[in-house]
Amino acid sequence: MSGAGLAVLSPREGEFLLEIGFGTGSGLAALARAAGPRGRVLGVDPSCGMMRRARRRVARTGHAGRVDFIIGDARRLPLAEGRLDGVFMSFTLELFPTDAIPRVLAECRRVLRPGGRLAVVAMSRAGNAGPYARWYRRLHNLLPGIFDCEPIMARRALEQAGFRIERSQAGKVWRLPVEIILGCKGESALDGQVPAGYAGTS
């Protein structure tokens, strides 16, 4: 499913790209390959353990010289405004507390250049989720440390953050509904602001 999200982002040679929540580094390696020798890729993740694994994986692909790693929080990205061509998140946005999602997306908008793209793959609450999704949500409520992703309304979250939706598709992972959303940064009344709230759990 992450591969489908990368295809939606459609990274191009020479671009400056960011992955938030890079995990074991497979997405970073794919982004670095697509960006080519003239491009640059940055990964932000809160886990030192994941960074060590991702560094080794990227090094094995031969793209280590194009990738920079930062241990940090996506609510406070250490990047100047309007620097990036694309941002990628796969099963990451739903890990944040509900009230932090607007801040994360506002930071994505801030660091993207005009016309920059944000691709999000997320467990979804959209539509008729079915019994497996209902069971998962019960397990999440009972054991949040194990079932740590809370399904969200990804498209709604991006729209509320001021992104123009370019593409939206549904999928499934382990019979659980997933959204793959591509948003584009255009001019918005929300520029320079954090949206007041996110109604993605209603």
**Total domain count for the chain?**
1
Does residue 172 form part of some domain? yes
Residue 200 falls inside a structural domain: no
Any domain includes 192: no
CATH number of the domain at 66, please. 3.40.50.150
83 part of a folded domain: yes
Q: Which domain holds residue 166?
A: 2-185
CA distance linking residue 132 with residue 76, whole number of Å = 34
For position 140, what pLDDT does the model report?
46
Does a structural domain hold residue 199?
Answer: no
For residue range 12-24, what is the model confidence (pLDDT) as tens digits?
999 999 999 999 9
Q: What is the pLDDT of residue 172?
A: 76
**120 occurs within a structural domain:** yes
Residue type at 130?
G
pLDDT at 192 over 70: no
Structure tokens given for 14: 């020479």
How far apart are the C-alpha atoms of 12 and 38, rounded to whole Å? 10
Within-domain flag for 201: no
Band (pLDDT 50/70/90 cuts) for residue 201 is very low
